Amino acid sequence: MSQAIKEPQDSDVPAPLTGADLDPRLEPAADPYSVNIDDIDMSQRDLYRTQVHLAYFERLRKEDPIHYSENEEVGGFWSVTRYKDIIAIDTDHKRFSSEPSIFLGNIDPDFAPKTFIAMDQPKHDVHRKIVTPAVAPAKLSDLEGLIRERVCKVLDSLPVGETFNWVEKVSIEITTQMLATLFDFPFEERHKLTHWSDITTAGPGGGDTGMTEDEIRAELIVCATTFVGMLEERREQPPKFDFISLMAHSEEMKNLDFMELMGTLLLLIVGGNDTTRNSMSGGVLALNKFPEEYDKLRADPSLIPNMVSEIIRWQTPLGYMRRTAMEDVEMGGKTIKKGDKVLMWYVSGNRDPESIDRPDEFLIDRPKARQHLSFGFGIHRCMGNRMAEMQIRILWEEILNRFSKVEVVGEPAHTRSNFVMGLTDLPVRVHLK
């Protein structure tokens, strides 16, 4: 997924922005109805940082669900905002291609790592099949004990009675540990994985990472080179079920060029990071926004598995996926031309009242909670969805075992990104049972 390096619209910030960093004149209008609908551009990152994006999507779903925008940096693109339209596109692989990119921005031909999520059949299926065993049900069963052990260690280390950043101390730490496990990556160097994930989803010129574009490229080459060394080592070892070993012993992977290898590795890193990390933080925020649901959870912990799906819907960790029209397509009274960029806004579809009852409410006992868009549909449905669900389930089982409440005690800071729907800061205090 490293194509995002060139994405003018994709960024994930490592720390909250301060008032000094932002020009108030650039703040998006809080009221979407104060803006001419033709001028609405959902790629604007500050819509998400300021959390007004949901109101904008609500207007688009009502008035212009297949919405065209012009952007001087990326050109024109379509925003598809209703649940049913998104599914129709996500499952129509003939007319809507994942190539050349799942991101809005334009690809730099001089630096374009190739990922199987941005491939169509049959090549997509070949690449995906190689690494799928690492997250197969049998493998997850073997990992559950280890995940629980590490979750417990993280939770037991939290400073009771003190304010701390849940994102940093819990969400990032647990996710990073699991990434290291899935790759069988040196545990003491595990934070490199989070770093590589964050810079992969950075914006223009390094976005808000504090790094230049050239620095990011150099760092991603270091990432790929590191894994090339690990691949060579694993080829000399008996096969195992971590990502690197599976790739090392695959005949198909031996034929990958450097950019294909880099793309596959970065996809697995980002895919294993963002969904889980941001849902672990989003769940805490949601339960504090809806305290009656927290009461319901404490009274009936058996609701945790269903709640996990509701968290992933409510948070929607990745805001969109892009497709490219392969032919002219009529949809919603509009003509999407061959070659046009089409953004399936999962974050909007998950709040569509025509398909989801009371979508703006967080309901841990919601019927059919798994019927959300966050994992996508069709051949590109997230292969690690069960892994993500298991990690979040175990986290909440162990939270309830220890704490009467994880209390949000300050304003959260949200990522300045139209792609990663996450948090950078969530001030909390934990209260023992």
pLDDT tens figures, 377-390: 876 667 668 888 99
Mean pLDDT by 10 residues, the chain (433 residues): 31 34 64 96 94 98 97 91 97 90 70 56 60 65 88 97 96 91 89 85 60 83 88 89 82 74 79 84 98 98 98 95 95 96 97 98 97 84 79 97 98 92 96 95
What single letter denotes the amino acid at residue 400?
L
Q: What does the H/E/C string look like for 119-154? A: CCCCHHHHHHHHHHHHHCHHHHHHHHHHHHHHHHHH
Q: What is the pLDDT of residues 144-179, one digit of tens each?
A: 998 999 999 999 999 999 999 999 999 999 999 988
> Element (H or E) spanning 291, and its range?
helix 291-299
Tokens describing residue 332: 């919603």
- The structural domains of the chain, ordered by start, are 2-432 (1.10.630.10)
First to last CA, the chain: 42
Helix (H, G, I), strand (E, B) or coil at 18: coil
Distance CA 303, CA 316 (A): 20
The DSSP secondary-structure symbol of 315 reads H
Q: Give the Å distances, CA to CA, from 262 to 1, 87, 88.
A: 9, 29, 31
Q: 247: which residues sit within 8 A by CB, 6+ positions away? A: 130, 131, 231, 234, 253, 264
Radius of gyration of the chain (CA): 21
Confidence (pLDDT) at 380: 63
Question: What pLDDT sits at residue 39?
Answer: 95
What's the CA gap between 154 and 172, in Å, rounded? 11
- Say if residues 176 and 191 touch (Cβ distance below 8 Å): yes
Residue type, 423: L
Taking the C-alpha atoms of residue 44 and residue 428, their distance in angstroms, rounded to an integer, is 29
Task: Give pLDDT, residue 240.
Answer: 83
Give one DSSP letter per residue of 70-122, joined into a string: EETTTEEEEEE-SHHHHHHHHT-TTTEE--S-SSSSPP-TTS----GGG--TT
